Chain A
Amino acid sequence: MSTSTTLEAPNSGTWDGGNEPLKASYGKLMMWFFLLSDAFTFGALLIVYGLSRHKHLPYTGDPDAFTFSTEWWPIPEKVYNAFPGLHGMDLPLAFVALMTMILILSSVTMVLAVEAGHRMDKNDVQKWLLWTILFGSIFLGCQAWEWAHFISGDDTGMVLSDGTQIFGANLTVNQYGPPLFADLFFFITGFHGTHVFSGVVLLVMIFINTVNGVYHKRGHYEMVEKVGLYWHFVDLVWVFVFTFFYLI
């Protein structure tokens, strides 16, 4: 016997739950407002990044002559120039370009799953959800590699004024520039990565439900739409993190 309390027929009176404010269902509306509050959190983190960046000296000289120093905020082409399997090669922004493409692709497969849900096409929903889970997991793997590289550092490191060398970064020392730079890197990309991880967990849950025919029996795939909203938001945040961290 089912323990769920889902109503067989929704209430329809204006004061009986039948009224839909803003012509969106309760679940979708609440997802929108949750995402709005989440956007405030990410906005706050990016605002702190902008403020910290502007109170440090920007490097204005020739980019080729740039060396890591606590004096300057680092320029992104010099920090993010590594690629898995290509040790020691200078490939500025190549890996982050790959990550961005993967996340945009996962957004497309998600919207295709939503579209399939509108048509009640269970097989297509399953197929596109699996692709989205795959791309999301690859993105998480890429981020794990990126973090591992950022923490262990490159071969040159940074030479301090007393002659000691430091490699890599943690919350207090950082070979790439001011320690605050690494703190913000860990916080912002970490918070985004946590969102991607939660998104993958939600996708696995709705994938299992889809396979079991839960949404088919319910008569609509609105849950896929709601998780889709969340997943696109994660992609949206990455668009901003990418611009402010890796380009500017």
Chain B
Amino acid sequence: MHSDHSHDFDHTADIPKPQTKVIWKTFFILVALTAVEFLFAFTMDAGTLRNAIFIVLTIFKAFYIVAEFMHLKHETKALIWSVLIPMALVVWLMVALISEGSYYFDSVENYFN
């Protein structure tokens, strides 16, 4: 059961040239951001500021992967929001439970010591 359009692509001369500029640009941005992360990991002392820098860089990397590699930037607005809004709620849950962890640690410390 060969469909009619199979022979449309049989001539290799018809294949257009690859358009890979954006792909490699995104790749170099991802590599650069990872390199910056390692730079901070080895030159800066651990602390809230360094963790904040790591999280911001991670969000940038996530943006480039989702927007360019997964092509979400070029989808309809409704699809973009139906992916982003649930994820924003997950981030909220994460912030809430991490502060809950700190509180739990503090209360256990104060209770037993």
CB within 8 Å of B: which residues of A? 2, 8, 22-24, 29, 32, 36, 39-40, 43, 46-47, 50-57, 63, 75, 77, 92-93, 97, 100-101, 104-105, 107-108, 110-112, 115-116, 119-121, 124, 216-219, 228-229, 232-233, 235-236, 239-240, 243, 247-248
Q: Size range of the interface on B?
A: 35 or more
Residues of B within 8 Å of A218, CB to CB, are 3
Number of A-B contacts (CB under 8 A): 142
Q: Across the interface, do B15 and A121 meet the contact criterion of CB distance under 8 Å? A: yes
CA distance A248 to B75 in the complex (A): 33
Q: Across the interface, do B69 and A232 meet the contact criterion of CB distance under 8 Å? A: yes
Q: Which 7 A-B pairs have the closest CB atoms?
A: A54-B101, A51-B101, A55-B105, A43-B90, A50-B98, A22-B79, A243-B58
CA distance A128 to B76 in the complex (A): 28
Main secondary structure of the interface of B (DSSP, over half): helix
> A219 contacts which of B5, B30, B37, B100 (Cβ < 8 Å)?
B5
Q: Across the interface, do B23 and A108 meet the contact criterion of CB distance under 8 Å? A: yes
**Cβ-closest chain B residue relative to A108:** B27
CB within 8 Å of A: which residues of B? 1-3, 5-6, 9, 15-16, 18-20, 23-24, 26-27, 30-31, 34, 37-38, 41-42, 45-46, 51, 54-55, 57-58, 61-62, 65-66, 68-70, 75-76, 78-79, 82-83, 86-87, 90, 93-94, 97-102, 104-105, 108
Q: Across the interface, do B94 and A235 meet the contact criterion of CB distance under 8 Å? A: no
Q: Across the interface, do A115 and B75 meet the contact criterion of CB distance under 8 Å? A: no
Residues of B within 8 Å of A100, CB to CB, are 34
**Cβ-closest chain B residue relative to A230:** B70
Q: Across the interface, do B75 and A51 meet the contact criterion of CB distance under 8 Å? A: no
